[in-house]
Every structure is written in C-alpha cells, then in structure tokens.
Amino acid sequence: MPMRINPSILAADFANLERELGRISSADLVHVDIMDNHFVPNLTFGLPMVERLQEVSPIPLDVHLMIDDPDRWAPGYAEAGAASVTFHVEAARDPIALARRLRDIGARAGIALKPGTPVDPYLDVLHEFDQVLVMTVEPGFGGQSFMPETMPKLRRVADAVTDAGLDVWLQVDGGISVDTIGVAAEAGANTFVAGSAVFRGVPEEQIELLRDAVAS
Ligand code: DX5
Ligand code: ZN
C-alpha cells in the first residue's frame, strides 16, 4: 500500500514559494490550502496563486478548498491543472455533481470532513470521489494538535472503501507528525498532509522521517 506524504505550503515561506518547492522534491503532492475567511476564519490565497504555482511546481498540486460555494470556484482549480481538488462537503450545494465536474476536467475529486462532520451520508457514494480528507484539526490554521477522536470516523471510511473494493485515497490533515502519523495509518489513512512538521526542520529529512514512521 503506497503511503503518500503531501507537505502543506501553508507552513512554507510565502515570499519564496518556488524555492520552498525545491526543498520538498521527495514529496508526492504539494498541499495547497485555500481559505476565504468565510468558511474558515482565516485567509490565504486563491486561484491566481495556484495558476502560477502550477506553472513552476515539478510536483503535482493537491488543492484543499476551505471556502464557501465550491460549486462555483472549484472547477477553476481543476482547469488550472491541479492534480486533485478537495472541497468541504457541507459547503457544496451538490457534492456529487461537483465531483463529477472536477473529474470531467481531469482532476481527482475529493471531499473533506471537518472533525464534527459525519461521514455516514456519503458512505454509499464513495465511488463518486477519488479521495476523502478526514480533518484531524478544525480547519483554518496550521500548527494545531492532532485530534485522536477523529480516528473512528477515518476507520469507518476505510472499512467502507475496503468493503466496496474501491481505490479511494484516505487523507488526514492537521497535526500530522512522526508522533501521530502511525495512529492515522493504523486507522486506514494512506495520504498524509503535514505543514509545520515538514517545514520546521529540513523538509527532505522530515519527509523521510514521516515515511519511515509508516513504512511496513
Ligand atoms: C489546516 C490546513 C492544513 C495545515 C496543516 O486548516 O488544512 O493543511 O496546513 O498544518 P499542520 O501540519 O501544521 O497541522
Ligand atoms: Zn489542508
């Protein structure tokens, strides 16, 4: 089972993003956090930034939209060339229609679940998505502590994916470090977003440490 490490550039040096991309060349994808100061109480950047990152990044982009009205905005990120576009499911008017549109454009389509968002309404339609992001902190800020109480939900998604014989990536995001990544892998995650854990040290070394921690 391949384990993917997706560093979040939320913790990188925003004044030198191209250089920062060069420090994570062993990453699987680059996680790009889009916040609109409405869906979450914080603001980052938007489509023009992603279009430019797409031009310079040797690593595919994993866009995480923490925004209202993704039905309107998400397709633009897929059109920009993002490898995956993940939106928060309660923010979308029609999550399945949106996922189909993202796939039609050529991106992997993902739904994200906040710690308090139940997964049960989506367990029967997991085939409509390429990845499910189980948030392991409240979205909005980097550097928060991993919430182990989100693990039973992750396990439920993992079991449903296995039972249905699907290849849906299970992503965790928030507080992932060498100390917590094993717990998330144990509960079924195979795609790990890490911001502060990667960029607080030497990024390539930190990526390797995270990989080692889940190597079986
Ligand atoms: C939080 C973001 C995360 C953030 C994770 O809302 O979605 O991607 O960058 O940061 P760390 O790894 O520092 O918790
Ligand atoms: Zn994120």
Which helix (H) or strand (E) segment holds residue 126: the answer is none
Neighbours of 173 (CB within 10 A): 27
Numbered residues of the known binding site for a divalent metal cation: 31, 33, 64, 173
The predicted-structure confidence for 124-152, as pLDDT tens digits, reads as follows 999 999 999 999 999 999 999 999 999 99
The predicted-structure confidence for 40-90, as pLDDT tens digits, reads as follows 999 999 999 999 999 999 999 999 999 999 999 999 999 999 999 999 999
Residue pair 63/162 in contact (Cβ under 8 Å)? The answer is no
Residue pair 169/130 in contact (Cβ under 8 Å)? The answer is yes
What lines the ligand 1 site, CB under 6 Å? 8, 10-11, 31, 33, 64, 137, 139-144, 173-176, 193-197
Mean pLDDT of the chain: 98
Out of 3.20.20.70, 3.40.190.10, 3.40.50.300, 3.30.300.30, select the CATH number for domain 4-214: 3.20.20.70
Nearest to 70 by CA among 103, 54, 48, 94: 94
Domain boundaries, given as residue ranges, for the chain: 4-214
The predicted-structure confidence for 3-24, as pLDDT tens digits, reads as follows 999 999 999 999 999 999 999 9
Q: CA-CA distance, 119 to 140, in Å (whole number)?
A: 20
The predicted-structure confidence for 91-110, as pLDDT tens digits, reads as follows 999 999 999 999 999 999 99
Nearest to 103 by CA among 84, 124, 121: 84
pTM as predicted: 0.98
